[in-house]
Amino acid sequence: MTDQKIRIATASLAGCFGCHMSFLDIDEKLVQLNERIEFNRSPLTDIKHCGPSDIGLIEGGVCNADNVRVLREFRANCKVLIAVGACAINGGVPAMRNYFDLRECLEEVYLHGTGVTNPQIPDDAELPLLLDKVYPVQEVVRIDYFLPGCPPPADAFLQMLMPLLDGKAPHIANNQLHYD
Amino acid sequence: MGYHAMAINQNTLTIDGKDVYFEQGQTIMDAALAAKIYIPHLCHYPGLPPSGNCRLCVVETNGKSVAACITQAQAGLRIHSNTPELNAVRKTITQMLFVEGNHICPACEKSGNCKLQAMGYYLGMHEEHFHHFNPRRALDASHPAIFLDRSRCILCDLCVRASREVDGKNVFAIAGRGADAHLIVNTDSGKLGDSNLDRDDLAANICPVGAIMHKQRGYVSPIGQRIYDQQPINEIALGEHVPESTERDHD
Ligand code: SF4
Ligand code: SF4
């Protein structure tokens, strides 16, 4: 392998940014990691679109049209795409809205909810339309690896990334595997 | 060969190459558990009659796949259980159980104490693989002490058997066919609140997942001290049995 740094892109779709926070929980190991990687598009950088990258980390499920666009952009540009956290893997807590019709949810929040003034459902073309349901990312694009947890433990990020940096298959230890 | 050795031979089978002695009438599961050998299972609970519906205990013998919980032990059987192939099948079954219900563990009070989840950990399940059904199933909170969240029910039938065989109350049943199968309550209203289910009944305490839950008792154990935080399912399962004192005879 050359000295060229491994390019990592990250995104939060219908996520809470908790998976990104858990990634940052590797603390000072981030400094070591940073010697081997560089970030492409990520909430941690200013890059607006995902360019060719070695690894993409996706947090959050797919809840609106913009999520679909971003997810497809990542799939097209990342050699390895990883679903990070319960939301990306199975929709997570936001998928509890799948128990209801989308219209019921919008009407409850924007029309009939407590304290609503000037009731109207936002319909500006700038706003991405919500999908009928919240979808796991692998129901939209192919995913290479899954990192479970809500959020995954900080160490699990290292167990996933370090072997990948060396071109090996990652292995999540049993004690790092949880869905909650 | 002495008489004793012959008697042992007549009651011996092997599981993954280990000799296991059994008593006449035992199932492969009974014999395995007695010998402290774990065969994965969710719908079986020692002390209750088996029902054979979860299929996690599938083992191979004589070139056939059989459910260990409902297959009689026979002398000379060579049984394969803990193989990569069978564990892959078991993982697939576990994934199917996850997607056909709504298993959102981060928001479930059973997390850490749940057998379905612990099975996922034991089998190294990282994701559900299949598309989610997102079913909408009725929640029943009519009972003062117990609620029923059908979206997490895996139709293992344990509450049905516990209520019938041990509590003697027949509170639960499974109705409907195929994908429409669902847990019902045997009252005119269909509501749990109109049943004579008591919080101390075995049926109110045996659910392996977060479907039959006690009200106002969620999130009592700190993370790290929940059942499967401390020990994996293959160890916990070896110590499980319906308490003898509560077993009743309904002949
Ligand atoms: S019942 Fe078990 S598997 Fe289902 S959501 Fe609750 S903890 Fe997760
Ligand atoms: S409620 Fe619980 S015990 Fe009863 S069938 Fe469903 S999962 Fe099994």
Determine which residue's CA is closest to atom 3 belonging to ligand 1.
Answer: B117
Residue with structure tokens 């019921």?
A: A104
Q: Measuring from each residue's beta carbon to the nearest atom of ligand 1, which residues come in under 6 Å?
A: B 103-105, 108, 110-111, 114, 116-117, 152, 209-210
With a cut of 50, say whether residue B6 has pLDDT above it: no
What does the domain layout of chain A look like in residue ranges?
6-176
Q: What is the pLDDT of residue B1?
A: 42
Q: What is the pLDDT of residue A49?
A: 97
Percent of chain B surpassing pLDDT 70? 94
- Of A68, A59, A46, A112, the C-alpha closest to A89 is A59
Closest partner CB to B126 (pick from A93, A96, A148): A148
Give the model confidence (pLDDT) of B144-188 as tens digits.
Answer: 999 999 999 999 999 999 999 999 999 999 999 998 999 999 999
Residue with structure tokens 């971003």?
A: A70
- Strands B146-149 and B212-214, sheet pairing: antiparallel
CATH of A6-176, one of 1.10.3720.10, 1.10.645.10, 3.40.50.700, 3.30.1330.10: 3.40.50.700
What does the domain layout of chain B look like in residue ranges?
12-82, 105-231
- By CB atoms closer than 10 A (0-12, 13-18, 19+), residue B161 is buried
Do residues B166 and B202 make contact, with C-beta atoms less than 8 angstroms apart? yes
With a cut of 60, say whether residue B5 has pLDDT above it: no
Q: What is the pLDDT of residue A3?
A: 64
User: Which residues in chain B touch residue A98, judged by CB atoms under 8 angstroms apart?
Assistant: 102, 132, 134
- Strands A130-135 and A62-64, sheet pairing: antiparallel
The HSE-up count of residue A77 (CA atoms within 13 Å, CB side) is 21
Region B23-28: what's the mean pLDDT?
96
Q: For residue B129, what is the nearest residue in chain A, using CA coordinates?
A: A138
- Of B49, B84, B2, B60, the C-alpha closest to B164 is B49
Q: What is the pLDDT of residue B185?
A: 98
Q: What is the pLDDT of residue B10?
A: 80
Q: Per-residue confidence at B8, pLDDT binned at 50, 70, 90? A: low
DSSP B102-130: T--GGG-TTTTS-HHHHHHHHTT--S--S
Determine which residue's CA is closest to atom 2 belonging to ligand 2.
Answer: B207
Angle of the B84-100 helix axis to the B115-122 helix axis, nearest 10? 140
Give the model confidence (pLDDT) of A60-84 as tens digits.
Answer: 999 999 999 999 999 999 999 999 9
Region B35-52: what's the mean pLDDT?
97
Average pLDDT, chain B: 94
Region A49-55: what's the mean pLDDT?
97
Q: What is the pLDDT of residue B243?
A: 86
B145 vs B159: CA distance, rounded Å? 16
Q: What is the pLDDT of residue A1?
A: 47
Provide the 8-state DSSP code for B238.
G
Q: Which fold has domain B105-231?
A: Alpha-Beta Plaits (3.30.70)
pTM, 2 dp: 0.95
Q: What is the pLDDT of residue B159?
A: 98
Give the model confidence (pLDDT) of A162-172 as tens digits.
Answer: 999 999 999 99
Give the model confidence (pLDDT) of A11-34 as tens digits.
Answer: 999 999 999 999 999 999 999 999
Q: Per-residue confidence at B245, pLDDT binned at 50, 70, 90? A: low
Distance B150 CA to ligand 1 centre (A): 12
With a cut of 50, say whether residue B203 has pLDDT above it: yes
With a cut of 60, say whether residue A103 has pLDDT above it: yes
CATH of B12-82, one of 2.40.50.140, 1.10.10.10, 3.10.20.340, 3.10.20.740: 3.10.20.740
Q: Do the domains B12-82 and B105-231 sit in the same CATH topology, yes or no?
A: no
